[in-house]
Amino acid sequence: MMELIKKPWPWYVAGPLIGLIVPTLLLLGNKHFGISANLRHICAACFPANIPFFQYNWKKEIWNLFFVAGILVGGFIAAHWLSDSNAVSIAPALAAELRAYNVTDTRHLLPQEIFSWEHLLTLRSFILLIVGGFLVGFGTRYAGGCTSGHAIMGLSNLQWPSLVATICFMAGGFVMANVLLPIIMKL
């Protein structure tokens, strides 16, 4: 059983399970799936202020905060008890490309040459982590939701804004991965 949990699930199992979240949430009380709105719920709960954006009944969405807590707990469990002690297996072509960018640590899921405290203040890591994080947050707010909210929930409900947002997410991802990332990785 542990081997089943440790290995990645094939798309034909994981995809339908994710897809079944949408009708389940709609049947359980017209709930909407998404992650980014939870920051608003947390701010409204923890920092009550006279800001109109945070003046709403956040308790109605408390189920979603339990969902986020489950993600955090699941990530902790996976990292501490379900992780593989072997080096991450990557394609030889990717390993060669990463070596060209001076990224050689494949012992962890996240390369230490980018995702570590000691490399945080390098220009490359600063752009990827800080600037990239800001742009993701800004884009999420500007688009009115995150990729999971738009691509899973919005497309399932045939919402035109979600289709536009998902196309833009994908186009931005292609440009970043194929044009900007190689430039940033050379820094």
User: pLDDT tens, 101-144?
Assistant: 999 887 877 888 888 888 888 999 999 999 999 999 898 888 88
Average pLDDT, stretch 45-50?
A: 81
Mean pLDDT comparison of 27-31, 68-72, 86-90, highest-scoring range: 68-72
Rounded CA-CA distance 123/184 in Å is 9
pLDDT at 40: 84
CA distances from residue 14 to 4, 31, 70, 173 in whole angstroms, order as listed: 13, 21, 17, 22
Q: Give the DSSP letter of residue 121.
A: T
pLDDT at 116: 87
pLDDT, averaged across the chain: 87
